[in-house]
Structure 1
């Protein structure tokens, strides 16, 4: 199924997922030439890094301690006296060095090393390998920084190229690019491609909604784990109880409205022997469980939370809604084979849905009333 989606639309999903949608009209040549998403990321990061190296990498300050023949920075009196350094004409100092070995540059070098080992396209892999060597020559260490280190290395408004480099590097280490590492990552191939694009789809929709809705007072959460409302259980039940995790959750504190969106990268309908095409029951049960298990009187939005099953469009479009035990549940499709403007229009339709009043008293209520009266 992934092969039916044009690469340009995968590129658009990638941009939304990486919070880089402002670059959607850039790098068209690299987008067209890329064989797959890892190759695309490698081409993009290589292009941006080559531009950055022409103007020199950004520098940062690093604290260093050393024994010197003259004072530099602050004197470490304890180390100086303990080592009796002054008798030998030396002094222990702590000072700031202006270096290129910053967390952001180490992150980019680590990403280049990883991509060089995993990209199947020889030319792109060679570019990544050469650029990683260039980083080494200017003193950037081959050590991936921690999240805390990256958090302290704030990127300024004018450092546009650095922002692009770091965002691409984060994607490499964020399970969005498939790898061959044993464990929780994914082998290249059909299954990996399906998982990869589903992850891109989920993150792209979530980030698009965040960009549009957060300025309007909404709170957007992605990947929130929720618990089963267990009152009593045997000792062996908790270890075998499956976990629950929502894909996207929208909350509006001002209106008390909550919407849970579950994204799937599969057909929304399946064939039935007796009724033609019907909704896949497992997905419907899943969104129902997300809504009903979280009901709590102490949390009023949970009592009327809405659910949306969002799938890519395969065949005809689907846009239907029902109310089940006080919860509005919608099933919708979005066309990923359309051009970029149509795809973004579909995302904006989701935004309009989130901003509109509940359908409970409008179209659905009207249809039910017509049936009853």
Structure 2
């Protein structure tokens, strides 16, 4: 059984699928299912999937690159560097200094992979207390570090990730390098209880809200093909045309591809509690969240009938109370819904598709 992510109550397997969709790598979900079900922690899951993905790379042969070299060789290889060859009287010994291009495993992606595998192999958070899956994992990590012996083992930095460039033939590197980047971001241990990697990943509302936003947008983009799914930049309808009027960007805008091209603006939020209570008052929707969505809808009414009839959705992740409510405000239907991320993953997927069906009723 998969573990649970600290006080967030999100199972490890669900966190993994959230990450895959957020990275736009949902196509890899099926190939990682066995590792997901056995993982006791998110960091352990990342390490196991990285081991498996790197193993496939090693079977296919790691990517090489041509690197210019200048060496003293017997005979001739490439172009002769006559200045150094003649100055050293090397011809008499049958040797020349030559400039040539040689294939090498010393590439930025391979350096990142080997450094991350080595880091995980020595990470105390993956230290096995007794013989078992963690001991096997650590042995597999160290074996792959040895298998990449032709790649220099050097420390990597954030700049190394920003400089990574993959070609059309490097698709197999996409998933492992995405994991390496996340492992780098989770490199600092924490004293918090539970899954340390998840506490680092979800350490504040901003990080988690952005992860949830990208997950929902890419999930619907993958599975709700009848709709155009994107984030959208909106302009205020300013009749005076002030140069200082700001723009607004939606988290998600859903538009029917077929007529009448109905629209729904989705705002994803993260809060410990979807409903709030004022002092001695009843539970209410969060006012500030409604104001923002209301502004997105009302400021675009001049553009078309579809904009005047557009709906809105506030979508919250939760592991507690499910909410499904609707209100009608000045011609716009606004819904407030939650997705229980502690449920089984099939239930999470079904819930998202059910919410979509409600905001676009037949």
TM-score tier after normalising by the smaller chain length: 0.5 to 0.7
Deviation at 1:11, TM superposition (A): 3.5
In the superposition, relative to structure 1, how do residues 24 and 283 fare at CA in structure 2: closer, same or farther (>3 Å)?
farther
CA distance in 1, matches of 2:227, 2:98: 53
Structure 1 residue 17, shift from structure 2 partner: 3.0
Partner of 1:105: 110
Pair 1:277-2:283 in alignment: yes
The count of aligned residue pairs is 327
Aligned to 1:6: 11
Aligned counterparts of 2:176 and 2:109: Cα–Cα separation in 1: 9
CA distance in 1 between counterparts of 2:143 and 2:296 reads 46
Deviation at 1:146, TM superposition (A): 4.6
Aligned positions of 1:77-226 closer than 5 A? 80=81, 83=83, 85=85, 89=91, 90=96, 92-95=98-101, 97-113=102-118, 115=120, 120-123=125-128, 130=142, 133-134=145-146, 137-142=149-154, 143=156, 145-147=160-162, 149-152=164-167, 154-156=169-171, 159=172, 162-173=173-184, 177=186, 179=188, 193=202, 195=204, 198-213=209-224, 216=226, 218-221=228-231
In 2, distance between residues paired with 1:30 and 1:10? 10
1:59 paired to 2:66: no
Matched, 1:37 2:47: no
1:337 partner SS = coil
RMSD: 4.5
Kept after mapping to 2: 8 A contact 1:67/1:91: yes
How far did 1:86 drift?
A: 6.5
Q: Does 2:338 align with 1:333?
A: yes
Q: What does residue 270 of structure 2 align with?
A: 264
Query: Post-superposition shift, 1:268?
Result: 1.2
TM-score when scaled to structure 2? 0.67
TM-score by length of 1: 0.66
3-state SS, counterpart of residue 330 of structure 1: strand
Q: How far is 1:310 from its partner?
A: 0.8
Unaligned stretches of 5+ residues in structure 2:
1-5, 129-133, 191-195
Instruction: Tell me the distance in 1 between the aligned counterparts of 2:313 and 2:76.
Output: 66
Query: In structure 2, how many angstroms separate the alpha carbons of the residues matched to 1:179 and 1:324?
Result: 47
Q: How many angstroms apart in 2 are the aligned matches of 1:227 and 1:280?
A: 25
**Could you list the per-position Cα deviations for residues 57-107 of structure 1 after superposition, in whole angstroms to 9, with x for gaps in the alignment?**
42322231425555545x48xxx47x4757865465342x33323343223
